[in-house]
A and B are shown apart, each in its own frame.
Chain A
Amino acid sequence: MARGVQPRISIVVNGDRVEVPAGITVAAALFNLGVTAFRTSVSGEPRGPVCAMGVCFECRVTIDSRPHERACLTPAVDGMHIQTASIS
């Protein structure tokens, strides 16, 4: 695949503006940015994606102020604001 010709979009992750390829999911975008702690569990542990198909709810992040969105089911869209767990 010719990586160079893929259109890129701009998203904001934890306050930082970053460019990612258009068409990828929020989960893939965060994974590629090196984010490991997507959410914090009820006992304070960092958690990241497991099933990547909407079943396990481990990849929940806040997207455009909506909490508990599954990053694996959400396509990254230009201008989107994503907030992950505070552990990193």
Chain B
Amino acid sequence: MTGMGVDSFPEIVAADVAVIGAGPGGIAAAVSAAERSLRVVVVDRGLEPGGQIWRRKVNATAASDAQPWLTRLADSSARTINGASVVDVRPDADGFEILVESSGRPMRIWAADVVLATGARELFIPFDGWTLPGVMGIGGTQALLKSGASFAGKRVVIAGSGPLMLPVAASLADAGAKLLLVAEQADRSAVARFASGLWKTPALLFQAARYRARFLSARYATGTWVTAAHGVDRLQSVSITDGRRTWREDVDVLCTGYGLIPNVEIARLLGCDIRDGAIAVDDRQRTNVDHILAVGEATGVGGAPLSLIEGSIAGTTVGSTDAASAHLTRRRAILVEAADRMLNVFAPREELRSLPHADTIVCRCEDVQYGAIQNAVCARQAKLYTRVGMGQCQGRTCMPGLDFLLAWQADTVRPPVEPALVSVLSSEVADDATPTFPLTSSVGEAYQ
């Protein structure tokens, strides 16, 4: 790969549209806007475009559903800045200034409109021993596997909730893991109701059956969940229950997670309305804040096909007064309805609220125990007294679980929205600085 030299690292990039996040939603928004001759910059934390769902396995080609979009992005005038964290987004007279840290250096993107395509992350609910090395997210395990980790011969239990467990179980089985159990916390009746609803989207039904066929040697149990992880300095076994009896499995890896939750931190920083934990948007993907649009999982978890439609809508409506195409609007409605059904089925069960005990660590960054915060009246009070949710991850890992356990309202979001170097935060733009566009190549390549 021929990347830009460090000397050519741009200080300021000017664009009509800045897209934050290069998953399916962000890519669709970027290519649709770029094909309307708008100048588009995409900024993304990952090492290459695709987000989590289209993450490419090391030394493999991209998945067949991803390839056409990745090609369209590469062929478009849109430029992607990979390996970059968004530190702050500020409205100014001409639009927005986005402060980005990439390879330890500051960069600013000046854009008239912003499309938030910030995706989703896993919901974790704390339990005894969940901080032991070897306890990982379900999506996290998939990401690690695709990054080149070998799970051959590893004894694995997957215990959590949601449709993400199926493809990850299939991948682990393909990779030679000894998959012992896939435990879905939702009851059999709920899962059956979900499966029977899949006839409306037969492709999903066939896909689920194909995934299951790849890990037939493992047991798939509903109404079953993990209560504790055990081990000294690393995971050695897990306690599993179906509500009647509890048993132990010796494992090397536990994959756990209770579905996906939208990443709404930047939206909240900008004052966008949040509804049911997701960024609220209208039929043109506009938030309540002028010139800020949002697409994909951040507006409600619904999968890549829905994200692509929402991205395409945003890319065709951003910076214009045109309505979204009736065709896309119709397809979006069908997929949103299917996604809403899924949320109800896989909602965490009541018993999970009693998983953590007083001495269970809930905040992994600051090692705050549940007993220290469970009587706090709100997140703000708990933070002030214990630093819960105030470490490196800025509460992204613990706070959603604590919201579930304690029904806290989310606290305010302040910059920096990602940990950043002081040199980046204190950087200033010279009076005579000139914005660069187009970039000659994707900046992430300079990192290689």
Contacts and interface: CB of A to CB of B under 8 A. Distances in A.
B149 A27 contact: yes
B364 A51 contact: no
B58 A27 contact: no
A47 B298 CA distance: 28
Interface string A28-54: 110110001110011101111111111
Interface residues of B, number: 42
Contact of B148 (A24, A43, A55): A24
A32 B150 contact: yes
A65 to B, nearest CB: 12
B236 to A, nearest CB: 11
B155 interface: no
Interface stretch (B91-99, B137-145, B222-230, B426-434): B137-145
Contacts, number: 127
B45 A41 contact: no
B249 interface: no
B83 interface: yes
Given A55-B121, A75-B448, A24 B144 contact: no
Contact of A60 (B52, B392, B448): B392
Given A21-B58, A48-B133, A72-B144, A54 B45 contact: yes
Contact of A56 (B60, B147, B233, B397): B397
A50 B47 CA distance: 18
Contacts of B121: 51, 53, 55
Interface string B252-292: 00000000000000000000000000000000000000000
A56 B367 contact: no
Given A55-B396, A58-B364, A47 B133 contact: yes
Interface residues of A, number: 41
A23 B59 contact: yes
A17 interface: no
B131 interface: yes
A52 B150 contact: no
B135 interface: yes
B65 to A, nearest CB: 20
Contact of A50 (B59, B83, B140): B140
A36 B233 contact: yes
Contacts of A20: 148
A60 B419 CA distance: 13
Given A25-B148, A45-B131, A73 B393 contact: no
B134 interface: yes
Nearest to B253: A31
A55 to B, nearest CB: 5
B58 A28 contact: yes
A31 B136 CA distance: 12
Interface string A47-88: 111111111111010000010100011010100000000010
A45 B361 CA distance: 11
Given A28-B149, A54-B46, A68-B392, 11 more contacts: A23-B59, A31-B150, A32-B150, A36-B233, A37-B133, A45-B131, A52-B136, A52-B144, A55-B397, A57-B391, A58-B364
6 A-B pairs with the lowest CB-CB distances in the bound complex, closest first: A24-B148, A48-B133, A28-B148, A52-B143, A57-B392, A36-B133
7 contacts: A23-B58, A36-B234, A37-B233, A41-B367, A42-B367, A47-B364, A53-B121
